[in-house]
Structure 1
Amino acid sequence: MCRFLAYTGEPIYLDTLLIEPEASLVSQSLSAREAKTVVNGDGCGIGWYGARPEPGVYRGTLPAWSDANLASLCRSVEARLFLAHVRSATSGEVSFSNCHPFSAGKHLFMHNGQIGGYPAIRRSVEALIPDPIYGRRRGNSDSEAIFLSALGQGLDTDPARAIARTLEACHRLQINEGITEALRFTAILSDGENLHAFRCASDDRPPSLYWRHMSGGIAVASEPFVSNENEWHAVPANCHMTIGKDIAFEDFMIAW
């Protein structure tokens, strides 16, 4: 499973959270503590929002621990909202196009989890992407397919409904194909103003997801990156968390 981190709040340099902490995301790329795969070295990426509505994005196939360009950007970029991801590939080869976060217009999206049995239903999942949006398809991962499908389901106006309808459609394809492997989903989505965090699974075993208050902001992460774990809160299963001017939690129930 992959590891990721998102932050929103007062502007900070990215290395403050991604490199400097003792259990930083970069260190998790080499030695994760709460993932089935300890090493997450199949690429990395960051996306951040500045003065313009569309985010800046950097992605690469090097492991985060050895990507000098990533380290340089993290030391130089200051942002009020950013997403970062280190990948352990479950579908799709190691390639630039399969690295997270994915972007489309003002949106950034990153995912940890998988559609069980994806190779058997890949063509059907891709068929969920509307033709006007399919031209954005660059890789062959299930994560990008979920994102683009959700864009076609109204991600701009109702993110939770768009994600839910996409996951339900993917699960129906699994059932139709007789696939018993689970669909597991934790993800972060942003439009530059709000962060949306999702956590669910068809087998009640969703990947880990935590949040905490930071000095001047809020962080959401696959696992804690600082040692004071008492300040971290688990995002409940079957939950949609929204972080904007306020923090809100709502049930995120999928018709599995």
Structure 2
Amino acid sequence: MCRWLGYVGDPIEPRELLYDTERSLIEQSRFHSPETPAPNGDGTGLGWYGRREQPTLFRSAAPAWGDENLRELASEVASGLFLAHVRAATGTPVQETNSHPFRYGRWLFVHNGFIKEFAVLRRELLMAVRADLFPCILGSTDSELMFFLALTFGLEEDPIGALERMAGFVESVAAAAGIDGALQMTIGLTDGRTLTAVRYASAGPANTLFVSSDVGSVRQLYPEVERLSHLPENARVVVSEPLVALPGLWREVPAGSAVTIGEHTDERPFVPTPPR
């Protein structure tokens, strides 16, 4: 499985979360865990918002732990909203266009999980993508296709509703083909203003997903932890696996939930619904 993280708050250097914590995203990408039984060595990416409305994207097919360009970049830019991803391929090639995040307009999208028997379902799913969006699909992953299906089903106007319609559509196509347990997914999605995270599985346990607690509260719990002292008061982080082992710092997102973080945090059930 893949791993990803999202940050929203006052600008920081992505390096602080990608490299500097005791169990950073790049450090996690090297090793197995009960949740991730293989290293995430099949590509990496970082998408961030700066001076432009459209986010900037860096993607590579190289393993994250050996990518010096990523290290340099993550130490140079500062952003108040970014998504980072380390990939473990699930049947599609290791190539730059298959690395996350995926971008369309002002939107960024990352995914951890899979569509079960994707090769069987791929053609029918592809044919449902809106005609004007179809040329924008540059890779061959189920993740990118999920993003463009959600765009087809109204993501720009109703992000969570569109993700629910995407999930419902995938499940309905899979069911018609006799495939159960079609989806395993955690999703990170942003338009540069808010960060949305979804945790869902059609069957069985869902991949893990955690959101950080309020920074001010955490500082009171752990006043001696120097690495928390400079984080902005409004900083929030969403991660596949915790970056540091501090009780009280991380809250597990319930399976079947969608969390939106911006000026306020909102959590609601995530209920796949086939589009009409």
Q: Shorter-chain TM-score category?
A: over 0.9
Alpha-carbon displacement from aligned partner over 1:35-70 (angstroms, at most 9, x marks no partner)? 232301000000000121100100000000000100
TM-score calculated relative to the size of structure 2 = 0.90
In structure 1, what is the Cα distance between the partners aligned to 2:45 and 2:52?
A: 19
Alpha-carbon displacement from aligned partner over 1:83-124 (angstroms, at most 9, x marks no partner)? 000000114210111100000000000000111111111101
Kept in 2: contact 1:53–1:106 (CA 8 A): yes
Corresponding position of 1:232: 250
Note the C-alpha offset of 1:255: 4.8
Corresponding position of 2:165: 165
Corresponding position of 2:179: 179
Note the C-alpha offset of 1:181: 4.4
In structure 2, what is the Cα distance between the partners aligned to 1:255 and 1:103?
A: 24
2:264 counterpart of 1:246: yes
Matches within 5 A, 1:1-256: 1-213=1-213, 214=215, 215-216=231-232, 217-255=235-273
AA at the equivalent of 2:90: T
Note the C-alpha offset of 1:254: 2.1
For residue 29 of structure 1, give the secondary structure of its aligned residue in structure 2. helix
Kept in 2: contact 1:55–1:106 (CA 8 A): yes
For residue 121 of structure 2, give the secondary structure of its aligned residue in structure 1. helix
Of the structure 1 ranges 100-109 and 36-45, higher mean CA displacement relative to structure 2 is found in: 36-45
AA at the equivalent of 2:47: G
For residue 135 of structure 1, give the secondary structure of its aligned residue in structure 2. helix
In structure 2, what is the Cα distance between the partners aligned to 1:91 and 1:110?
A: 17
Kept in 1: contact 2:38–2:88 (CA 8 A): no
32 and 246 in structure 1: CA distance in 2 versus 1, 3 angstrom threshold = farther
Note the C-alpha offset of 1:179: 1.5
How many residue pairs align between the two structures?
A: 256
Of the structure 1 ranges 70-79 and 173-182, higher mean CA displacement relative to structure 2 is found in: 173-182
For residue 223 of structure 1, give the secondary structure of its aligned residue in structure 2. coil
AA at the equivalent of 1:245: E
TM-score calculated relative to the size of structure 1 = 0.97
AA at the equivalent of 1:170: V
Gapped runs of 5+ residues in structure 1? none
AA at the equivalent of 1:64: A
AA at the equivalent of 1:49: Y
For residue 133 of structure 2, give the secondary structure of its aligned residue in structure 1. helix
Gapped runs of 5+ residues in structure 2? 216-230
Alpha-carbon displacement from aligned partner over 1:137-168 (angstroms, at most 9, x marks no partner)? 10110000000111111111100111111111
In structure 2, what is the Cα distance between the partners aligned to 1:140 and 1:225?
A: 30
